[in-house]
Each structure stands twice: as structure tokens, then as C-alpha cells.
Amino acid sequence: MSELEQHDYDVVVIGAGGAGLRAVIEAREQGLSVAVVCKSLFGKAHTVMAEGGCAASMGNANEKDNWQTHFKDTMRGGKFLNNWRMAELHAREAPDRVWELETYGALFDRTPDGRISQRNFGGHTYPRLAHVGDRTGLELIRTMQQKIVSLQQEDFAATGDYETRIKVFAECTITELLTENGRIAGAFGYWRESGGLVLFKTPAVVLATGGIGKSYKVTSNSWEYTGDGHALALRSGATLINMEFLQFHPTGMVWPPSVKGILVTEGVRGDGGVLKNSDGKRFMFDYIPPVFKGQYAETEAEADQWLRDNDSARRTPDLLPRDEVARAINEEVKAGRGTEHGGVYLDIASRMPAEEIVRRLPSMHHQFKELADVDITAEPMEVGPTCHYVMGGIEVDPDTGAAVVPGLFAAGECSGGMHGSNRLGGNSLSDLLVFGRRAGLGASAYVQQLTERPAPAPADIEAATKTALAPFDPPASGAGENPYTLHSELQQTMNDLVGIIRKEHEVREAIEKLAQLRARYADVTVDGSRQFNPGWHLALDLANMLLVSECVAEAALLRTESRGGHTRDDHPGMNPDWRNKLLVCALDPATADRRVPGITVTPADQTPMREDLLALFELSELEKYYTERELADHPAAGS
Ligand code: FAD
């Protein structure tokens, strides 16, 4: 067996974005030893890229805001498919998590009277996003890293070693979770730089690996988003839910081609920017769907009045939930009213003075100037949908973050349920804080009650080693497959056939193509040594992308309705019979392939919403989503 570096920790957190770091802090506060492992540099995660802000009903910009309104907005955004308990915990706890960040040293933008400033975002009734210009995620990560350093200093004072309780393993990729009798026993991976193999023995793993966007060609996501946590969970026996729901953010850059997909924050629209087609028309007024009729402004004058004072008018349809705006842009472009490069215009230049734009949106100003030679204080941006966020993820217990495999926990974008069929902007950063903390607590409680620790079996370690090194083996047949070629074909397939608008025959075609790619994957071969070898890294990531793409495609085929981030051209409306159905992806027990195993997708019902939460909604609103039978228990039913 290849030489193996070994470590022993109470808890191993995989991922050092917002969810991972918050879990680390919590597990350490509970007195446990924690390893945090990340395949990127420490501090480089998607959380750093988050621009617009973190949603929490602190009521600083409008004191009418409260957790109940945030809860209702989140459920509406997710088209009532959300795990309601997660949505409740999230709405109740987000303000405390933001205030807590201040105690760690976060410096949010302020209101004139010195409170944390909050900005408008799509689907949120009140200005709710705590922010730091358009660099909020950076502040979140900076602050939590600072907190971790302060905890390490406390540990040094107590033990003489900074790393007794928290140790960071950066640029280290986990490729397998190891179990003993179905319980977590360890995590196996490799150092990206040296190619050395490493084993973490641990009874508890918190997955916080983020999303899956790199399976798509046009995406706002960077190289780390290859669905690793989703795939690790599946392979270890956990389940995934909601995988058919992908968020295509309405505003990615469309030009030049080298930057296509890079995000343009919703904060541009939150601060007053408007979408226009090539006729100069603010087209979003034509796209208010029936479920939101009456809740959005119907004229430009009313929309602009709302921006000045959101109590005296209805909100602008430019800030409808993301799925609605993305579909509207798609329609405009299809109807020939798009821009030269296949997007629509996003205009902030005509809406506020140049210096105000630079003050509020410094990153956007810089991004467009540097990458597209566009001055957003003088001309409109060209934007279009980009694959941004996966609502689907590891099925977890809402209160503890526990997956179905004992010892496995998940939080953040790699977990599923919280956002239902569509996430509201700003609800991810708050999700990371609320559920990162809860997963850290859940993992600690699990470890503390163990009487003996599971140990990884030597045969499993050997098999994990063999699988990790398989791409260096000579191909079974022919010349071998190049991982870059397969990746590019996968991205094109998902983009073209399981993208923003889906059709049955196209999804079936994608599933066939995925089966072919899976067969070809068996011959993936890489050259060179194990020392910093990106081809090898991609070859391993590719197995994860193939597996999660199959989950997306199979679930997209089964769900014969359109809801949130899943639009079926052949089943255009929402179907109340589907509202409460989860599609649960699991490993096919008959599978023989260790690298890209087969999956099953099975419908399951969710627990009905607690009565006091159901009563927060008017019956007339719920009737748009629920079946009659489900509403029989509503307090207003039959009155
Ligand atoms: P991440 O922050 O992505 O962290 C994942 C971690 O897992 C990384 O450290 C990575 O290295 C590690 N990892 C992955 N696989 C492995 C492996 N196999 N082994 C070891 N480590 C691994 N949301 C908002 O709420 N508000 C916003 O304003 C906002 N703006 C956004 C802007 C952009 C450009 C993008 C891309 C997203 C934005 N989002 C926003 C979404 C939000 O940033 C993400 O959903 C969130 O940061 C995900 O956090 P996470 O902790 O789950 O994962």
C-alpha cells in the first residue's frame, strides 16, 4: 500500500467556507478536537465570493420585519416545498448569528443611526440583507478565520500548542468517507501539492463542501464546486433530496466569452438597477406570475416609489424571486429582444450618480471595467442567466444536521431542504451560519455520547487508495480518455439538455449521454506524477460530477411539473400533488462500479407543516399551492 499519513480527530469538517468554519467554531467551543480540511487555500471558498449580503430579520431598515415574515418569504420563494422546520429555524436564528459575527469582529455597513444596514433583495418583503458593500462573504470568512485564530490562541495559552483543538489542512482533497458497520469511521484524501495520501480517523464528519455548478458550462461557480460532498455522502449510504432544483441566477455576465457566467450581484437591482430589453422597455412588469399577482408594483412609477419608501408602494418586479426573473430574461432573448451578445440590459447608470454606484457596488464597477471594458456608471451591463446554486443536497435532520448515516452531518450548500425549489438571495449566508453552528453542535453531541469509536477497516483504506490512484493505471482499452474532454462534454450536456428549461426528450437524451460518459470514465487516464497534477485532480472530481449530474437528470425527468428551479416545458404549471413530494436519491444497492455507482430516485412525502406555522399564511395564498385535502386542517378552512 502507498505510504499513508494518518491523523485522529473527534470531528473532521470537510470544507472551509461559511458553513464549515461555523461548524468548526461550534465543535471547538464544545471542547472537541477538530480538523478542517479544504481542497482550496484556506480562505478561498464560495462564501468569499458572496456579494450582496446575509438575510436576517433584524428590522433595522424597517422595524415591521420579523422572523415570521422572513419565514413566509422563504417558503414562498421555495414554492412551499422547503423543509418548513429548517426555514423556521433559519428565520428565527439568523439575526442572532449576524449579531454574533459582530462579537467576532465583523464590520457591517451602518445605517445613519449606527445600526447594521440592510438592503433590498429579490423575494424579501423588507430590506433584510446585512452587507459590507458588495463584499459581504469576504467579511464573513475574514471574521470567522479571526475567531478561529483567537480560539487557537486560547488553546496555546492552555496547552502550549496552537493546534491542540483546531488544525487546518488546506489544499487537501477528501475522496472517500470510510465507515464501520454503517457508522462514520474516517475520511480519506490526498494533498494536492505533493500527491501524498492522508487518512483522518474520526467518528464524525461534517460535510460543508458547497455546490455542483462545475457540472455546467455557464456558471458563476469556481473550480471547487464539483459536488464532492454530495457524492461522498451518497457513496457512504446517505441520501440526497431536491436534486432537480438548480438555481440559474438571472444576472451573469454574458460578454466577453471568457467571463461568461461570472455573477452580477442582485444587489444591483436591490439598490435600484432595472432590467431592460433591446427596445429599452422595463419588461419585468409583463412577467409577474399569478401566484405573486397583487404583491408587486404594476407601473414604473410605483416600483420607483417603493425604492424610496417600501411602506408606501408594492415592490418592483425586477426583484421577483430568481427563478421568475431568469425565465423572463430567457423569454425576452428568445423573442428577439435581447442584446447583441444574447443577454438583456441591466441599467444602474441612469438610476443614481456615478460616485454613489462606485460607493455601493465597488466590486461590480471593478469587475466590468477590468473584464469587459464597460463603465457601469455610464452604460448598462449585459446580463443573462448563469448556473449559480443547487437547492438539492444531503438529506439532514433540521435540528442537528445529521444525515442518515450515523456520524455524518452536513451544512451549507451541500445540504438540502432549507430552500425548497428556489433559494432567495441572501438566504445562503444566513443558512451557513445557522446550520453550520447546528451541525457543529450535532456532531459534538454525537461524539460525546459514543462509548467506543468505529475504526476504518484496512481493506477499505486499501480500496480507497486504489480508487484514488486508478487514473494513473494504463487504460483498460484503447488510448484512454482525457478527463478534460469528458468534463467539457459533461458540461455541454448538462447546459444544453438539463438547463434552465427542460423537455422530456432532452432529459432522456442527457441520461443516455451520461451513461456513455460513465462508461468512458472507466478509461480515464492521466499522465505525469502525483505532484501537483491538475489532470489527476480533475479525473477524481469528474466521478463526483458524473454522479450528481445523474441525480439531477433522473430527478428532473421524474418531476412532471414546473416549480422554482425546475422548469419543464412539457409540464408548465405547478402541480399541487407534487408540492409535498421529495425525490430521494440513493445508491443503487445492485451497483458494482465503485467510482461512479448507479443511483435510485424514489418519491417520498414530507412531514406536513406545523399548524401554528401554517396559520401564518392566508388560506387564499395557500390554495395556490396546496391540495384541498392538505388544507382541511387550516384554522380558516370551512369558515
Ligand atoms: P463554500 O463556501 O463554497 O465552501 C466549500 C468548501 O469546501 C471550500 O473550502 C472547498 O475547498 C471545500 N471542498 C469542496 N470539496 C472538497 C473536498 N472534496 N475535500 C476537501 N474540501 C473540499 N449567497 C448569499 O446568501 N448572499 C450573497 O450575496 C451571495 N453571493 C454569491 C456570489 C457568488 C459569485 C457566488 C458563487 C455565490 C453567492 N452566494 C450568495 C451563494 C453562497 O456564497 C454560497 O452558497 C455559500 O457561500 C456556500 O457556502 P458553503 O460553506 O456551503 O461552501
- Residues 305-313, mean pLDDT to the nearest whole number: 89
Cα dist from 86 to 78, 82, 349, 397, 603, whole Å:
12, 8, 39, 9, 20
Instruction: Give the strand pairing for 197-201 and 4-8.
Output: parallel
Confidence at residue 267, expressed as pLDDT on a 0 to 100 scale? 87
CB under 6 Å to ligand 1: residues? 14-20, 37-40, 45-47, 49-54, 136-137, 173-174, 208-210, 220-221, 224, 228, 263, 389, 412-414, 425-429, 432
At 187, the amino acid letter reads A
Predicted confidence (pLDDT) at residue 496 exceeds the cutoff of 80: yes
Q: Sorting pLDDT into bands at 50, 70 and 90, what band is 557? A: very high
Provide the β-strand partners of residue 35: 12, 167
**DSSP output for 358-386:** HHH-HHHHHHHHHHH---TTTSPEEEEEE
Q: Which residue's CA is the closest to the ligand 1 atom numbered 24?
A: 426
Closest CA to 621 of 312, 293, 285: 293
Q: Which residue's CA is the closest to the ligand 1 atom numbered 36?
A: 221
Distance 210 CA to ligand 1 centre (A): 5
Instruction: Give the strand pairing for 11-14 and 204-207.
Output: parallel
Q: What is the mean pLDDT of the chain?
A: 95
Largest Cα–Cα distance in the chain? 74
Distance 477 CA to ligand 1 centre (A): 38
Backbone torsion region of residue 339, taken as left when φ is above 0, otherwise alpha when ψ lies between -120 and 50, otherwise beta: beta
Nine-digit cell at 278? Answer: 433591446
Distance 526 CA to ligand 1 centre (A): 28
ipTM of this complex prediction, to 2 decimal places = 0.99
Q: Which of 47, 389, 430, 536 to mutate to test the pocket of ligand 1 (most atoms within 8 A of CB)?
A: 47
Contact assessment for residue 200 and residue 178, using Cβ atoms and an 8 Å cutoff: no
- Residues 247-268, mean pLDDT to the nearest whole number: 91
**H or E element that contains 191:** strand 183-191
- Residues 542-564, mean pLDDT to the nearest whole number: 97
Contact assessment for residue 348 and residue 217, using Cβ atoms and an 8 Å cutoff: no
Confidence at residue 310, expressed as pLDDT on a 0 to 100 scale? 82
Nine-digit cell at 271? Answer: 439598490
Long-range contacts of 104-109 (CB under 8 A, 24+ apart): 104/143, 104/144, 104/146, 104/147, 105/143, 105/146, 105/147, 106/132, 106/139, 106/140, 106/143, 107/132, 107/139, 108/132, 108/139, 109/133
Distance 24 CA to ligand 1 centre (A): 16
Predicted confidence (pLDDT) at residue 120 exceeds the cutoff of 60: yes
pLDDT in tens, 502-534: 999 999 999 999 999 999 999 999 999 999 999
Q: Which residue's CA is the closest to the ligand 1 atom numbered 37?
A: 50
CB atoms within 10 A of CB 328: 24
Residue 633 makes CB contacts below 8 A (sequence gap 6+) with: 608, 611, 614
C-alpha triplet 212, 218, 222: angle, nearest 5°: 50
pLDDT in tens, 196-237: 999 999 999 999 999 999 999 999 999 999 999 999 999 999
Q: Which residue's CA is the closest to the ligand 1 atom numbered 4?
A: 17
Q: Sorting pLDDT into bands at 50, 70 and 90, what band is 619? A: very high
Distance 94 CA to ligand 1 centre (A): 18
pLDDT in tens, 428-461: 999 999 999 999 999 999 999 999 999 999 999 9
Predicted confidence (pLDDT) at residue 52 exceeds the cutoff of 90: no
Burial of 479 (0-12, 13-18, 19+ CB in 10 A): exposed
Q: Which of 428, 467, 541 to mutate to test the pocket of ligand 1 (most atoms within 8 A of CB)?
A: 428
Q: Which residue's CA is the closest to the ligand 1 atom numbered 31?
A: 50
Closest CA to 43 of 118, 148, 177: 148
The active-site residue out of 128, 142, 269, 322 is 322
Tell me if the pTM is above 0.90: yes
- Residues 274-287, mean pLDDT to the nearest whole number: 97
Distance 55 CA to ligand 1 centre (A): 16
How far is it, in rounded angstroms, from Cα 15 to Cα 205? 11
Predicted confidence (pLDDT) at residue 540 exceeds the cutoff of 80: yes
- Residues 620-637, mean pLDDT to the nearest whole number: 87
- Concerning whether 315 is annotated as a catalytic residue, the answer is no
Confidence at residue 365, expressed as pLDDT on a 0 to 100 scale? 95
At 350, the amino acid letter reads S
pLDDT in tens, 399-438: 999 999 999 999 999 999 999 999 999 999 999 999 999 9
CA dihedral 220, 223, 227, 231 (to 10 degrees): 170
Confidence at residue 2, expressed as pLDDT on a 0 to 100 scale? 58
Nine-digit cell at 535? Answer: 489532470
pLDDT in tens, 59-90: 999 999 999 999 999 999 999 999 999 999 99
**Computed over its alpha carbons, how large is the radius of gyration of the chain?**
24
Distance 607 CA to ligand 1 centre (A): 29
At 44, the amino acid letter reads K
How far is it, in rounded angstroms, from Cα 525 to Cα 476? 10
Locate the ligand 1 atom nearest the alpha carbon of residue 262 and give its number: 34
Confidence at residue 596, expressed as pLDDT on a 0 to 100 scale? 86
Q: Which of 429, 430, 434, 435 to mutate to test the pocket of ligand 1 (most atoms within 8 A of CB)?
A: 429
Confidence at residue 256, expressed as pLDDT on a 0 to 100 scale? 85
